[in-house]
Chain A
Amino acid sequence: MTHDTNDIILDVQHVSKRFGGVTALNDVSLQIRRGEIHGLCGENGAGKSTLMKILAGVYPHGSYEGTILYEGRELRLGESSIRQAIEEGIAIVYQELTLVPSMTVGENIYLGKEPVERGSINWDKLYAQTKDILAKYRLEIQPQAVVKRLGVGKMQMTEIAKALSENARIIILDEPTSALSEAEIDKLMEILAILKEHGVTCIYITHKLDEFFRITDTVTVLRDGKIVTTRPTKELDQHQLVNYMVGREMTERFPKGNRKPGEVILKVEDLHALEPDSEREVLKGVSFDLRKGEILGIAGLMGSGRTELVMTLFGEYGRINRGKVILDGKSLDVHNSRAAMSCGISLVPEDRKRHGLVLMQSILKNISLANLDRFSNWMRIDENRELSESQKFAKSLSIKTPSLQARADSLSGGNQQKVVISKWLMSQPKVLIMDDPTRGIDVGAKYEIYRLMNDLAEQGMAIIMISSELEEVLGMSDRVMVMCEGHSTKTLDIKEASQEKIMRLATGLE
């Protein structure tokens, strides 16, 4: 259990990396001790991913300056460097999982290194070895389970098992919890502790600050490609960490608004809905109401039907088979997003890359995509009006870009999210639904989005916000509706809501 505190497994010395004229890493030096869990923290674009990609061999030796000592030797990853990094024992578990969904856990773990005897795969051996690995690290998954049927948490376990099967000595976890439920996060934390017992070193990247305090031994903060500080976690608190990250004093994480909720605009009564193309009921009785100028938080675990609920309201998911939705005193009956928009409902989807943006297109085209009807005279799109309207939104949301003609994928996560929000604000909704609006974006951008939400609510817009982070729900909402297994449990006033209370409702204890 105890390790020599001076046993350095990885020593990064004066590493710099440039992309054209942009310096992504500037003279970064960092030491990681064997067997520790080392947190890496910083806003998007601070250089965390670049540093990790160097370690994982995505950028081979020679494409950066400086040296990296690994186990006392210089790490020189050359041709086919990603494979080489894995053989050296450095494995990376990406935010987006890299498993083959149609294969089993065992097949995935041994993909590319199947035990072969006389030219054919020895399946018994493969599954036996898989079982050994899973048992050794107490990972509760079935070797023969097909990956696509597993939950995200178990998929991630598979990914970790895959790294361990390569005798990984350093495992890099890039935002491992961004798609996990609270229970799954707890499970992951347990696994990390088990890895630590076995002397595996972990580098842990996340945007959720509380996780640093739950699990890491040391935290390094990066800002603008430079190391700001490396300190034992014990000596830090959340407040300090935020200050290191943003480089300025941030007095509060959630800006306080001056909201005065008005009359009810949207009323949902005992809504039941079926999954598309099947008879399975995903929404089993949801009731709530939403007022003008308020932010209603929707909390619930993964799979509780939060996303399904808002997608159904937006006309893009299930078929309603019971219950009523009343918008502005009129019964709402929409079957696609276009109809929902014309009724005054906008939805900022959960996964901005998959559902929100056309990444290869310009920022301008992304903002205007849902609103081209307003710029069209008969057939022709008035490109000047399109540009001038889009510029207004880009400016008021302070999207940081040299030009609206730049491609959407050139932006950081926070700015991409602002583009998606601009698109949906341009359609002038009465009800704005935001599904996990701050997922995977940095503290500074989060703050800006919170402020925007406040402004919109103060102007009288009704906002529904789904969030996986309880702190966010508590910090931003006027009321919180908690969902559990497809039905709504209770709508709490923010004064009576607490993390414990919400968790009890979400897990069905109350």
Chain B
Amino acid sequence: MATTTATPTTQSRTNTLKLFRANLQTFALVGALLVIWLFFTLATKNGVYLQAQNFSNLFRQMTITALMSVGMVLVIVTGNIDLSVGKLAGFISVVVAVFQARYWTRETAIPASEVHNPVFFILGLIAVLIILAVASRWYRQQEAKGSKPSQYGFPVVVVGIIAVTLLALWFVITPLVADLTGRVLTALVLEGSEALTTTISVIFALLLGVFVGIIQGFIIAYWRVPAFIVTLGGLWVFSGLITLVTEGKTIPANQPLFSGISQDYVPPTLGWMIAGAVVVVLVYSTFTGRQKKVRYGFELPPIAFDLVKTGVMALVVLGYVYIVNQYNGIPNPVLLLAIVAVVVGYMATNTRFGRYAYAIGGNREAARLSGVNIRRNVFFIFVLMGFLCGVAGTALASYVGYGTIAAGQGYELDVIAACILGGTSTLGGEGTIFGAMIGALIMASLTNGLQMLNVQPGYVYMLKGAVLVAAVLLDVQLKKNR
């Protein structure tokens, strides 16, 4: 009697233990986050730290770096790095600010002649994009024919140089023409329609990000210059562009609709509706997932396990909405981040694109021999990274309300730190977007809490550094003992 009842219990216990062990890193991260929250709640007066207003701010503060961390995880997973993200987002935020300040409003602090015209800049970009598209198509044909790089490398380099020169020309010699076109366009078409102008700003920001991603990705993936070097170069180029565009001045970008992107909130009722929809989808997918497994004749995980998992996720969503609704509702950028993280997270685990990225980072040679097109995959990861920098840059401009010379300064390090803290291996092949999000949240929680306790910024930096190193040290130790 005793033995028959004991066996299943011990088995389920070892199963639970196994599941726990497998997800140790995730639990450790979430645990660390909860400890940090608990500490600051106890340390701040009346537990102000975790009250609705600060809780809401906490999440919003992390969004800009976290948006970029989503892409950075995949970049690092493939064994690459992107050092240019901070400055790129900064550059994009400045350009968006120029759009907002210079073209969509008449009364502006900056005289027309001082800023280069982004409309013409767009045309320049499109021209270069076309050149690059043609070049890459031709390049791929050559590759398919099996020609040697030395036979087609030279023309490709020439095309690249021409493309960059053209871009520079558009920038330098066309402000006059551009200015005129911009004025006419503004006067004729866009005057007065804030929805339209804001949309154009945002689309342009995203396109700019994608464009930079294409250039950097192309150089890294197809010309095989190490990502570290290409993006280090990019960092300086974007610093230079920021200086050129701002000319050291602050460019306001504070039109109501545009500011709303990062500063407004989802109305509480809508917030509840979104939360409800998420919960319904969660429950539905859990049950259909089980049904599908049954159809394939797989062994099902215990129902209790699935229920707890779904329940916890649902509670987190509902709890979050409950708390932030006591203040103003879900901050727009947090919702944006959630959507981006879920979509890219899904891509990372459930599409070939994502799977290949992990395989490339895990063993490049094995991936290549398994028919993975490594160059194309790495290229598109940098394009995605650029796109996300576009998103982050827009959010940044909207959040701070202006474009300055310091925009995005040092963000790349926060972005990388969030990934590493979240368990991404610097050697490639390992890392999750969920982990990076928790990593970003831990960093934001620390900074926010220490500021509330009026700790000097110097100490805040030191503590962040120490936490990062300590976390990785702990991870190394845990892996050794496993």
Q: Which of B298, B356, B367, B430 contacts A387 (CB 8 A)?
A: B298
Residues of chain B with a CB closer than 8 A to A144's CB = none
Residues of chain A with a CB closer than 8 A to B372's CB = 338, 369
Q: Which of A357, A370, A376, A384 contacts B351 (CB 8 A)?
A: A376
Hey, what's the 0/1 contact readout for B128-149 against A, CB within 8 Å counting as 1?
Answer: 0000000000000001111011
Residue pair B373, A338 in contact (C-beta under 8 Å): yes
Residues of chain B with a CB closer than 8 A to A341's CB = 371
Residues of chain A with a CB closer than 8 A to B144's CB = 335
* Top 9 A-B residue pairs of the complex, sorted by shortest distance between their CB atoms: A358-B362, A338-B371, A370-B370, A358-B363, A335-B146, A337-B371, A369-B370, A372-B352, A388-B296
Complex CA gap A210/B240 in Å reads: 69
Residue pair A365, B351 in contact (C-beta under 8 Å): no
Residues of chain B with a CB closer than 8 A to A337's CB = 368-371
Asked if A370 meets B365 with Cβ closer than 8 Å, knowing A319-B146, A381-B350, the reply is no
Residue pair A356, B296 in contact (C-beta under 8 Å): no
In the complex, A347 has a CB within 8 A of chain B = yes
A319-364: which have CB < 8 Å to B?
319-320, 335-338, 341, 347, 349, 354-361
**Nearest chain B CB to A357 CB, angstrom units:** 6
Chain A residue nearest to B482 (CB atoms) is A20
Asked if A357 meets B350 with Cβ closer than 8 Å, knowing A369-B355, A369-B372, the reply is no
Known: A360-B362, A379-B352, A380-B350. 9 other contacts (CB 8 A): A335-B144, A354-B366, A358-B358, A360-B429, A372-B355, A376-B351, A379-B347, A380-B351, A388-B296
In the complex, A140 has a CB within 8 A of chain B = no
> 7 A-B contacts, Cβ less than 8 Å apart?
A319-B148, A358-B358, A370-B370, A372-B355, A381-B350, A381-B352, A384-B298
In the complex, B249 has a CB within 8 A of chain A = no
Residue pair A277, B366 in contact (C-beta under 8 Å): no
Residues of chain A with a CB closer than 8 A to B363's CB = 354, 357-359
Residue pair B367, A369 in contact (C-beta under 8 Å): yes
Residues of chain B with a CB closer than 8 A to A336's CB = 371, 373
In the complex, A249 has a CB within 8 A of chain B = no
**Nearest chain A CB to B345 CB, angstrom units:** 13
Residue pair B146, A384 in contact (C-beta under 8 Å): no
- Size category, B interface: 35 or more
How would you classify the secondary structure of chain B's contact residues: helix, strand, loop or mixed?
A: helix
Residue pair A384, B370 in contact (C-beta under 8 Å): no
Complex CA gap A349/B145 in Å reads: 24
Interface residues of B (CB under 8 A from A): 143-146, 148-150, 292-293, 295-298, 347, 350-353, 355-356, 358-359, 362-363, 365-373, 429-430
Chain B residue nearest to A348 (CB atoms) is B369
Complex CA gap A347/B368 in Å reads: 12
Complex CA gap A52/B149 in Å reads: 47
Most chain A CB atoms below 10 A, which of B143, B296, B358, B366:
B366
Residue pair A388, B366 in contact (C-beta under 8 Å): no
**Nearest chain A CB to B429 CB, angstrom units:** 5
Residues of chain B with a CB closer than 8 A to A316's CB = 368-369
In the complex, A169 has a CB within 8 A of chain B = no
**Nearest chain B CB to A8 CB, angstrom units:** 36
In the complex, A7 has a CB within 8 A of chain B = no
In the complex, A383 has a CB within 8 A of chain B = yes
Hey, what's the 0/1 contact readout for A137-165 against B, CB within 8 Å counting as 1?
Answer: 00000000000000000000000000000
Hey, what's the 0/1 contact readout for A273-297 against B, CB within 8 Å counting as 1?
Answer: 0000100000000000000000000
Q: Which of A347, A356, A383 contacts B350 (CB 8 A)?
A: A383
Residue pair B365, A361 in contact (C-beta under 8 Å): no
**Nearest chain A CB to B273 CB, angstrom units:** 26
Complex CA gap A383/B372 in Å reads: 19
Asked if A358 meets B429 with Cβ closer than 8 Å, knowing A341-B371, A369-B359, A387-B298, the reply is yes
Residue pair B429, A370 in contact (C-beta under 8 Å): no
Complex CA gap A369/B297 in Å reads: 23
Residue pair A354, B365 in contact (C-beta under 8 Å): yes
In the complex, A479 has a CB within 8 A of chain B = no
**Nearest chain B CB to A96 CB, angstrom units:** 15
Residue pair A387, B296 in contact (C-beta under 8 Å): yes
Residues of chain A with a CB closer than 8 A to B430's CB = 360
Complex CA gap A387/B298 in Å reads: 9
Hey, what's the 0/1 contact readout for A160-190 against B, CB within 8 Å counting as 1?
Answer: 0000000000000000000000000000000
Complex CA gap A384/B288 in Å reads: 12
Complex CA gap A379/B348 in Å reads: 11
Residue pair B298, A388 in contact (C-beta under 8 Å): yes
Chain B residue nearest to A366 (CB atoms) is B366
Complex CA gap A376/B296 in Å reads: 17
In the complex, A423 has a CB within 8 A of chain B = yes
Residues of chain A with a CB closer than 8 A to B145's CB = 335
Residue pair A277, B362 in contact (C-beta under 8 Å): no
In the complex, A87 has a CB within 8 A of chain B = no
